[in-house]
Amino acid sequence: MNKTNPGVAVVTGASSGIGRVTAKALQNAGFRVFGTSRRAVSKKSDGITMLTCDVTDDASVAKLVDEVLAQAGRIDLLVNNAGMGLLGGAEESSTAQAQALFDVNVFGIIRMINAVLPTMRRQGKGRIVNLSSVQGFIPAPYFALYSSTKHAIEGYSESLDHELRPFGIRVALVEPAYTRTSFEDNLARPDQLLDIYDAARAGMTIVVRKAMEEGDTPEVVASTVLAAATDPTPKRRYAAGKTARQVSLLRRFVPASAFDKSLRKQLGLPI
Ligand SMILES: NC(=O)c1ccc[n+]([C@@H]2O[C@H](COP(=O)([O-])OP(=O)(O)OC[C@H]3O[C@@H](n4cnc5c(N)ncnc54)[C@H](OP(=O)(O)O)[C@@H]3O)[C@@H](O)[C@H]2O)c1
C-alpha cells in the first residue's frame, strides 16, 4: 500500500452525516472503502461498498470483518464513526439506557477494534481513527452520559495506541465540535423523564439546535479524519475545525474556574 493506493478502509455508520462524507473523502483519496449501516443490504453506493453491521452485536461485527476480508483480503484503516447522543439530566436515564448508549459509543468501538486487530497485526500495519468529540474533553451539562462515552474512548484510544505501536498500528482520535448532521434528530430522549429538568432540557435543546445550524460541515470533519488516517506520523488527537481547535486550546490554558463560568454563561445557566 502506498500513496496512490492507501489500501482498504472500513467506516462504521457510513449511511449519513460525518460517516457518509468521510467514506467519500477516503474513496477520493484512493482508499477502497467499505461503509456500514444497520440497514444496509450489501450494495455499492457511489463507489463505496455498503455492508450491514450493528456495532452492538458481536456476531454482526464478526460477519462484517469476514465479508471485508473475503472481498478485499486486508484492512488498513478502521474509522469508528458510528455513534449516537442523548440529551437530558443525568438522573433521567435508567442504568439500562446508559448501558445501551455505552454499547454503541464505547463497546461498539471496542468490538470493532478487537475484530480487526488480528488482521492488522498479521499485516504489520494498520490505522484506527476513533470519532470522539469536544465533549471528550469538555463535559457539557445535560450530556453527562454522552460526554462520559467520549471520555471513555479518549482514555481507551490513548492506552491502545501505546500498546499497538510495536505492531505497526496507530490509533488517533478526531474531536469535532457541533457539526451539521442528523445527530440532533437522532438524539435519544431520557427514558425516565423528571419534570424538574423540563425547562433546562428544553433550553439546552434550543442551544444545541442553534449551535448545530451554525456548526461545521461534515466535510470539515471528513478532511480531519483523512489527515488522521494518512499522516505518516499521526498525532494522538485531531481537533476538527476552527471551533474545536479554539476550545481545545482554551480548555488547556484558561484557568478551570474561568472556563466553568464562561461555559455556564454560554449555556444560559446561573453562575
Ligand atoms: N454531529 C455532531 O455535532 C458531532 C459532534 C462531535 C462528534 N460527533 C460524533 O460523530 C459521529 C457521527 O455522528 P453524526 O453527527 O454523523 O451522526 P448521524 O448523522 O446521526 O450518524 C450516525 C451514524 O451512526 C450509525 N449508527 C448508530 N447506531 C449504530 C449501531 N448500533 N451500529 C452501527 N451503526 C450505528 C448510523 O447508521 P444507521 O442508522 O444507518 O445504522 C449513522 O450512520 C458520532 O460518533 C458522534 O458522536 C458528532
Degrees (nearest 5) of the Cα angle 201, 206, 210? 145
pLDDT tens across 11-59, in order?
999 999 999 999 999 999 999 999 999 997 667 878 999 999 999 999 9
Residue 251 within any structural domain of the chain: yes
Q: Which residue has the cell 448501558?
A: 99
pLDDT at 164: 98
Residues with CB under 6 A from ligand 1: 12-13, 15-19, 37-39, 53-56, 81-84, 104, 131, 133, 176, 178-179, 181-183, 186, 212, 215
pLDDT tens across 254-266, in order?
999 999 999 999 8
- Report strand pairing: 32-37 vs 48-52: parallel
Domain of 19, in residue numbers: 8-266
- For the segment 94-119, the average pLDDT, to the nearest whole number, is 98
Grid cell, residue 42, equals 450489501
pLDDT at 57: 98
pLDDT tens across 124-158, in order?
999 999 999 999 999 999 999 999 999 999 999 99
94 catalytic per annotation: no
Residue 114 within any structural domain of the chain: yes
pLDDT at 271: 85
CATH, residue 81: 3.40.50.720
15 catalytic per annotation: yes
pLDDT at 1: 56
Tell which phi-psi region holds residue 3, choosing left (phi > 0), alpha (psi between -120 and 50) or beta.
Answer: alpha
Instruction: Give me ligand 1 centre to Cα 183, in Å.
Output: 6
Q: Which residue has the cell 450491514?
A: 52
- Report strand pairing: 126-131 vs 32-37: unpaired
Q: Binning pLDDT at 50, 70 and 90, where does residue 198 land?
A: very high
pLDDT at 9: 98
In which order are the strands placed within the sheet that holds 77-80? 43-45, 48-52, 32-37, 8-11, 77-80, 126-131, 169-176, 237-240
Grid cell, residue 27, equals 474513496
Grid cell, residue 193, equals 423523564
- Above 80 in pLDDT, residue 3? no
Q: From the alpha carbon of 146, which atom of ligand 1 is closest?
A: 47
- Above 70 in pLDDT, residue 5? yes
- Above 80 in pLDDT, residue 250? yes
Q: Which residue has the cell 440532533?
A: 184
Residue 56 within any structural domain of the chain: yes
User: Pocket of ligand 1, candidates 179, 184, 238, 245: which has the most ligand atoms within 8 Å of its Cβ, to mutate?
Assistant: 179
* Range 158-165 contact pairs with CB under 8 angstroms and sequence separation of 24 or more: 158/236, 160/113, 160/128, 161/236, 164/117, 164/120, 164/126, 164/128
- For the segment 74-85, the average pLDDT, to the nearest whole number, is 98
pLDDT at 46: 84
Grid cell, residue 113, equals 477494534
Residue 3 within any structural domain of the chain: no
Residue 205 within any structural domain of the chain: yes
User: Pocket of ligand 1, candidates 12, 18, 80, 99: which has the most ligand atoms within 8 Å of its Cβ, to mutate?
Assistant: 18
Residues 6+ apart with CB under 8 A from 160: 113, 128, 171
Residue 36 within any structural domain of the chain: yes
DSSP string, 117-185: HHHHHHHT-EEEEEE--GGGTSPPTT-HHHHHHHHHHHHHHHHHHHHHGGGTEEEEEEEE-SBSSSTTT
Q: What are phi and psi of 240, to 5 degrees?
A: -100, 110
Position 87, amino acid: L
pLDDT tens across 199-212, in order?
999 999 999 999 99
pLDDT tens across 161-191, in order?
999 999 999 999 999 999 999 999 999 999 9
Residues 6+ apart with CB under 8 A from 121: 167, 169
Q: How many domains does the chain have?
A: 1
Radius of gyration, alpha carbons of the chain: 19
Q: Binning pLDDT at 50, 70 and 90, where does residue 87 land?
A: very high
CB 247 within 8 A of CB 238: no
Residue 2 within any structural domain of the chain: no
Residue 1 within any structural domain of the chain: no
